[in-house]
């Protein structure tokens, strides 16, 4: 049984989370707290396995509390935030300080049914994650220098990630040279948070990183990230690669889904592509990566030791869709050599 503590200053949100999880046989809400001071006492008393944490609260904000928690008593934390630009940016900062997942405030992005499923899935993913004491993350990480590639217009890199993926993607993309192949990315993340995430990566990387818009060209030196709540597909017109951003049914309880992206890359790019699957819970991306390999693409998976959750990479490996399994620090080098 996964024991959960809900920390939010809104009584409505606290009740909604309790009600949403009541029908989950493997999850129990052992307590709620309206602010970090109450939460601190209940953590000691109740020993929860996972915490859901609001950002804006009285007496102490969630980000300050998270930093203290991860330094002294690290626990798996899911951030609950509004979809305002400020809320999105702060939530992403929380991920760098050690939070594992981001969830939209109830009613702001999902129906109640979708929110319940998202919440339960994120709690299960967080409970499986290994969390260690952390130091305060630096505001900037030095860019690693790697050998440049010959510029090309017909190579594609496709990346899929979920729990722990925001940190992993930063590690991978910061190693890309300015003329890296056009890159398309699905990171499981709620609507609107991907805008702030792309902007953050763009400020750190040598390549341009942006949230994808329908019809955007996939070109060297640029990475396109699927908008939250929309699927991303690769298309081709003559020599030009471009993306479709579209709605549709959830796949593996996800929208965007890695499988949707990878299947389109297999069909459109074939042997001209390299697929990367990073840390995350579940099986999203496994079948798509197998399709990519079958179409002649190179495929790489993050190894278990460096994953926050070794779910998605493991499923892809078990299915036979992975050429190479390497530590996170070797993903960029390996993928670029395959290209």
Q: Could you tell me if 146 and 177 are in contact, meaning their C-beta atoms sit under 8 angstroms apart? A: yes
Q: Is 26 left (phi over 0), alpha (psi -120 to 50) or beta?
A: alpha
Catalytic annotation, pick one of 82, 188, 216, 291:
188
Distance CA 197, CA 255 (A): 16
Active-site residue, 8 included: no
Catalytic pick among 35, 121, 216, 284: 284
Closest CA to 240 of 268, 223, 222, 217: 217
Annotate 51-62 with b (16+ C-beta within 10 A) or e (fewer): bbbbbbbeeeeb
Q: Given the DSSP bridges, would you call strands 298-302 and 240-246 parallel, antiparallel or unpaired?
A: unpaired
- Which residue has 């990479």 as its token pair? 313
Catalytic residue among 104, 162, 264, 291: 162
Q: Is 146 exposed, middle or buried (0-12, 13-18, 19+ CB in 10 A)?
A: middle
Tokens describing residue 128: 């499986």
Long-range contacts of 119-123 (CB under 8 A, 24+ apart): 119/17, 119/20, 119/21, 119/52, 119/78, 120/20, 120/21, 120/24, 120/27, 121/253, 121/281, 121/282, 122/78, 122/163, 123/2, 123/4, 123/21, 123/27, 123/50, 123/52, 123/78
Cα–Cα distance list, 150 to 144, 153, 216, 336 (Å) = 18, 10, 23, 11
188 is catalytic: yes
Active site residues: 162, 188, 284
């Amino acid at each position: 049984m996964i024991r959960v503590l809900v920390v939010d200053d809104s009584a409505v949100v606290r009740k909604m989370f309790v009600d949403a999880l009541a029908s989950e046989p493997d999850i129990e809400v052992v307590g709620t707290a309206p602010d970090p001071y109450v939460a601190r006492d209940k953590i000691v008393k109740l020993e929860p396995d996972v915490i859901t944490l609001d950002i804006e609260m009285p007496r102490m904000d969630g980000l300050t509390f998270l930093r203290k928690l991860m330094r002294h008593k690290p626990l798996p934390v899911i951030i609950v935030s509004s979809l305002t630009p400020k809320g999105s940016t702060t939530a992403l900062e929380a991920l760098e300080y050690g939070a594992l997942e981001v969830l939209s405030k109830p009613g702001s992005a999902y129906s109640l049914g979708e929110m319940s499923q998202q919440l339960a899935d994120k709690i299960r993913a967080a409970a499986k994650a290994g969390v260690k004491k952390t130091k305060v993350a630096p505001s900037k990480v030095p860019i690693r220098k790697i050998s440049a590639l010959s510029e090309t217009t017909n190579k594609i890199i496709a990346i899929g990630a979920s729990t722990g993926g925001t940190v992993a993607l930063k590690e991978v993309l910061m190693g890309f040279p300015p003329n890296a192949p056009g890159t398309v990315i699905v990171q499981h993340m709620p609507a609107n948070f991907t805008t702030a995430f792309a902007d953050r990566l763009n400020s750190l990387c040598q390549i341009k990183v942006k949230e994808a818009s329908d019809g955007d060209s996939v070109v060297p030196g640029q990475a396109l990230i699927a908008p939250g709540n929309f699927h991303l597909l690769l298309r081709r017109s003559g020599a030009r690669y471009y993306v479709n951003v579209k709605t549709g049914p959830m796949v593996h309880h996800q929208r965007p889904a890695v499988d949707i992206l990878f299947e389109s890359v297999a069909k459109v790019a074939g042997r001209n592509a390299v697929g990367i699957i990073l840390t995350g819970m579940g099986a999203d991306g496994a079948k798509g990566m197998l399709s990519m390999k079958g179409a002649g693409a190179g495929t790489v998976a993050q190894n278990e030791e460096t994953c926050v959750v070794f779910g998605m990479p493991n499923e892809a490996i078990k299915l036979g869709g992975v050429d190479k399994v390497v530590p996170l620090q070797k993903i960029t080098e390996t993928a670029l050599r395959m290209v």
